Chain A
Amino acid sequence: MDSHCNYKIFKSMKHIKTALVALMVVGLSLGLAGSVFAHEGQEEENEKPELIYVQPDSLQMTRDFTTIREEVKSSTSLIVIKAVALALSVAGLVLVYLPRKGTESENE
């Protein structure tokens, strides 16, 4: 079924590969930029109307999200999570590109 394709065009069309890489880079940047820009200024509002639903007293949070975020920003747990997460991320990447004994020939 696949033999009818000789795919010669792809041998010379390096730009397809470049386009894919560019898409990945743009997409990743987009994810980051989008999450920063998309919500910018949304918390600054003129005046807030009444809440639609009455929240039970037992559940009333006295702090909003901005306050909560400030409070937990420097918590030890988050610092530990950041360190471990970065270490795992780098370790994963290193292991992907670290040559394995006896597998080099089969992968290429």
Chain B
Amino acid sequence: MTRLSSPDAPTEAPDQAADETEEAPAVDELRDGVVARLAELLGDGLVEHHVAAGQDMWIRVTSDAWAVTAETLRNVLGARYFCFLSAIDWKPSPFGRYLDAEVDTIVHGATAKEPEPQQTGVTGGEARFQVLARVANVRDHWGITIKADATPDDAPRVPTWTRVYAGADWHEREAWEMFGITFEGHPHLRHIYLPSEFEGYPLRKDFPLISRMVKPWPGIVDVEPMPTVDEPEGDTPPAAENAPDGGDPE
């Protein structure tokens, strides 16, 4: 099972490991070995790591060590399969999602909420933008998710991976146009999905959807508010609302 950057993964993974002792040993020699080897090769470049025994592993490296990590993983540790490279904007959205958004609260009559504190998922992080990538060693059957903070927040930049993994080219172009993260050394950072004259970085949390600013979602106005369910006390299972997999990481 692959869990990517979900903050509930660390708490959940040990439980699962305990439940499935046959399939998922509490000590994962393979993954612990890979992480130990990485720590040895990268030195201070490796900031944090997390191993879900028998399942998966995550590391966070400094942005300076981002390119070196790729080289190490591919050329030394044999992770020759490049799965993907992407980015996350961890900023709590000022526009909210659905009920949190001001334009929507007007319609719903709810009160605007305070933005949640910033969280950065597995292996943590300080910056607003993080790049993440996943590579795998298909011979030894392990995969690893690598994260790095892209700093500074107003002009995030990290080194390119294209010299190590040629396939990272388009992924970096997409991350660049969607999040505005500059990949230093990329041969031609230009738009890949968006029209070439597009301005702004649409997957940033503070990218406004102008249509929504002008006119709230028209579909909601002719819908009656959902009736509130009056259930007897104690009948509702408390886990239903806070199911670890139900919510979004933010």
Q: Do A and B come from one complex?
A: no
Q: Chain B residues in contact with chain A, CB under 8 A?
A: none
Q: Chain A residues in contact with chain B, CB under 8 A?
A: none
